[in-house]
Chains A and B, each alone.
Chain A
């Protein structure tokens, strides 16, 4: 069974940089890696997506090594409103079937 693992939780303080890593050994060859943010009682919200190397947008950066078996979401200068659960999402191929699998989720707590 494909496993996509993340740290269960992380603590940070306002203004710090936070890096969350996801391990995805079974990622499909041509698939992207996507990260989502989820607040309580809401659906996942798209943060960033990449295929390899580094991607940056207005809210985050995504670092992907050459083997693509992991990825790191980097949130610069977090604020209290970044307290949420963060999920990676990757496509995997198992038994010739393509599936989108979420990581286990990382609960980020940002303190003042």
Chain B
């Protein structure tokens, strides 16, 4: 199993600023994903973080707004750029590895934009 450390756990940010969320895994994993969960909604996939190349974004999400880095097989960051109150959500990273079919999740980051 993988242990994921995600931080910050929560933050309150001013509109127009940016926040970078970090996801650190205790082992090398093949796949890393970033999700958003808006209040009362299901978890929506933002993008797949690809090691050594640009992330693959889902419809409705763009790199300029949610730049993602994945410099190695254990670490990824998601930045929420030029924030507005509509970006207030929980953001979760998840990892999935071919050697273990279970997906694992970070603790989540609760973002409030004021």
Contact = CB atoms under 8 A, between A and B. Distances in A.
Interface of A: 1, 31-32, 34, 41-44, 46, 49, 51, 87, 89, 91, 97-105
Contacts of A104: 42
B31 interface: yes
B104 to A, nearest CB: 8
Interface in B64-99: 92, 94, 96
A87 B102 contact: no
11 contacts: A31-B101, A32-B101, A44-B43, A46-B102, A87-B43, A98-B31, A99-B33, A99-B48, A102-B42, A102-B43, A104-B42
A34 B45 contact: no
A103 B48 contact: no
Interface of B: 31, 33, 35, 41-45, 48, 56, 58-59, 92, 94, 96, 101-103, 105-108, 110
B108 A43 contact: yes
Contacts of A103: 42
Contacts of A41: 110
Identify the 6 closest CB pairs spanning chains A and B, nearest first: A32-B101, A105-B42, A102-B43, A43-B108, A43-B105, A104-B42
B42 A87 contact: yes
Nearest to A30: B101
B30 to A, nearest CB: 9
